[in-house]
Amino acid sequence: MSATQLADHKATLSRLNEAHNSGDVELVSTMIDEIFQPDVLIHTPLPIEATGAEAQKEVLARLHRAFPDLHVAVEDMIAEGDKVVCRNTVTGTHRGEYLGVAPTGKSITYSEIFIVRFVDDRIAEGWGVVDVAAQLRQLGVLPARPS
């Protein structure tokens, strides 16, 4: 993979994060159609029945309903071969139902790491680890960690 292709793949993920940070669910959906293969394989456990790009759209729409001011700050982005790894810090205010939890108005901050694989300059496969326990602790669903 050329240095130009690696830079392009990183730029693609940056554009997705910019759309995500805009809070515009339609823009995010359009971006997903543009940069994901329709049948993208998502290896992250998701609490939905949709698959492929439609699953990605549903997850992000749910996040935006729950946390309308959601912001993804990219801490690290590494590209090698056909993959890009992105380590993010995510913040938002709980204004809508999330994982069965009614809105609390609480602010949350959590970490996530995603690896995506590109085929023909579109995301064809993805893996992710999201710190859901941190989300639930901050929303008061799980007890706080002992000091």
Domain that holds residue 66: 3-138
Residue 145 lies in a domain: no
Residue 48 confidence class, pLDDT cut points 50, 70, 90: confident
Whole-number Å distance between alpha carbons of 94 and 138: 10
| pLDDT grade for 12, boundaries at 50, 70 and 90 | very high
Residue 36: CATH number of its domain: 3.10.450.50
Which amino acid is it at 53? Answer: A
Find all residues with CB under 8 Å of 136, minimum gap 6, and list them: 99, 101, 142
pTM for the predicted model, two decimal places: 0.92
Give tens-digit pLDDT for 55-96.
999 999 999 999 999 999 999 999 999 999 999 999 999 999
- Whether residue 147 lies inside any domain: the answer is no
- pLDDT for position 65: 95
Is residue 43, in this structure, part of any structural domain at all? yes
Residue 103 has pLDDT above 90, yes or no: yes
Per the structure, the count of domains in the chain is: 1
- In a domain, residue 63? The reply is yes
**Is residue 144 one of the residues assigned to a domain?**
no
SS3 70: coil
47 confidence band (pLDDT: 50, 70, 90): confident
| pLDDT greater than 80 at residue 50 | yes
What is the pLDDT averaged over residues 27-47?
94
The arithmetic mean of pLDDT across residues 16-20, rounded, is 93
Residue 108 within any structural domain of the chain = yes
